[in-house]
Structure 1
């Protein structure tokens, strides 16, 4: 099971709007856009609202895969969204029958895979869609940083400027299971009317050694481990775990 199933953040159009406001272009999409410059084709898993692929669409074959129709509806309506093929699918089992020069998964979508079996299936899917010289890249937060400890209501409270609702108060709250590494978190938005929109998500934190083992079992090899999206090499205390690799 993935952390997106039954999560209103990915299915309620009002919450999808907030997702887009809080997840714009960042270091991850900029880094992947640079990687994509020399790729003849791009496949993006967990594409969400299509910000990344629509932003680089230029006529090359590009496919975005996501399990949330509400997200894909936004992707299709984007400027240049019609230049990308959007597919509703689950990374654990989808097979497009095509191979790509770059397979990406950003925005910590990897962490929505909540078991080793889920991760193994996803990595098999990545391997099945890579050209012989193709590259894959994804990101996962480093559990040693215990980032979830800053996702309490007090620490995460913020104002989100919404084009329709105006300034909206937002916050998160979490529970953490030390045995599984799974964080269950709530995202809440209190509208000026007093109504509160909320969603509940689950993500998993696993360490670099465990990710490396699962990657190797999928017939993939990592050329470089990055510790952030600026290109710094991975170190034990790095914020991110980012493998950039290819077929073995």
Structure 2
């Protein structure tokens, strides 16, 4: 249903190796997820699993893992990494709003603010319906999303950075972020100019990110028969405040 929309919003993650290099050492969400998984021996599902940053260490801990992502390049790298770690994970390319899996799970999770790729109320609802179909009774869904801080979103953010890449070429990156208060979508654009033997090569990418407010999250949960277990301001269980950078939502399916 939303496949084309999601695939058109993957420019920022076009290079799986670069993505993996940037985020592979981040562990705070992993600690939270592992504690939530506890001692279950039933399969666990990660949505938008990317290069396997969480799926692989979870499998190394002995959990049976299913990883779903829309980006085949990310999945290919995840499969390579899993093989190198000598763990077996059920990876598949799927639209999270139309999951097709052979199992049900007591725990489904989605991290790295992937929830922001669901740009409309319709797609968010479709996600919850799909998740619900693959949760066991009283199963739990954990996800995160950036907290909308209005004082930051109300201004156009423009940053210019210059660095030298691995080939000793000078690279200038111009970042621009503009928030639409009606759609609640932040449009992020980067123009990269690389000096190659005094010839400038230009590359542009963009991404759209939806910001969802806490009361909207509560409405979604209520509409789809989930109860809120906790809503935190960080993966370290910090209280959620108006200045929190993140919202960590831990909810449970009510049957």
When Rg is computed on C-alpha atoms for both structures, the one with the higher figure is 2
Determine the C-alpha separation between the residues in 2 that align with 1:104 and 1:146: 30
Please point out which of 36, 41, 44 is paired with 1:42: 44
Counterpart for residue 28 of structure 1: 29
Q: Which residues of structure 2 form unaligned runs of 5+?
A: none
> Is this contact kept in 2: 1:226–1:243, CA < 8 A?
yes
Secondary structure of 1:101 counterpart: strand
Native 8 Å contact 1:10 1:16 kept in 2: no
- Show the counterpart of 1:227: 233
Distance 1:130 1:22, change over 3 A: same
CA gap of 1:146–1:133, structure 2 versus 1, over 3 A, is same
Deviation at 1:108, TM superposition (A): 0.4
CA distance in structure 1 between the partners assigned to 2:164 and 2:66 by the alignment: 30
User: Which residue number in structure 2 is paired with residue 53 of structure 1?
Assistant: 55
Quote the Cα distance in structure 1 between the aligned partners of 2:192 and 2:97: 31
Structure 1 unpaired stretches of 5+: none
* CA–CA separation in structure 2 for the residues paired with 1:97 and 1:31: 26
Pairing 1:157–2:165 present:
no
**In structure 1, C-alpha distance between the alignment counterparts of 2:183 and 2:236, rounded to whole Å:** 30
| Structure 1 position 70, deviation (Å) | 0.9
Q: 1:157 to 1:61 in 2, by over 3 A?
A: same
State the TM-score, normalizing by the size of structure 2. 0.82
In the alignment, the residues of structure 1 paired with residue 192 and residue 31 of structure 2 have an alpha-carbon distance, to the nearest angstrom, of 28
What are the equivalent positions in structure 2 for 1:130-169 lying under 5 Å apart? 130-145=135-150, 147=152, 152-154=157-159, 157=161, 159=163
Secondary structure of 1:119's match? helix
> What's the CA shift for 1:146?
5.2
Residue 88 of structure 2 corresponds to residue 83 of structure 1? yes
d(CA) in 1 for partners of 2:99 and 2:142?
18
C-alpha change, 1:220 and 1:113, in structure 2 (3 Å) is same
Contact 1:145-1:239 at 8 Å conserved across structures: no
For residues 73 and 12 of structure 2, the distance between their equivalents in structure 1, rounded to whole angstroms, comes to 6
Residue 218 of structure 2: aligned partner: 212
The aligned runs of 1:1-16 (5 Å cut-off) are 1=2, 4-7=6-9, 9=11, 12=14, 15-16=15-16
Paired residues in the alignment total: 244
Over aligned residues, Cα RMSD in angstroms?
Answer: 2.8
What secondary structure does 1:57 align onto? helix
TM-superposed CA distance for 1:4, in Å, is 3.8
Native 8 Å contact 1:25 1:52 kept in 2: no
Q: Normalized against structure 1, the TM-score is what? A: 0.84
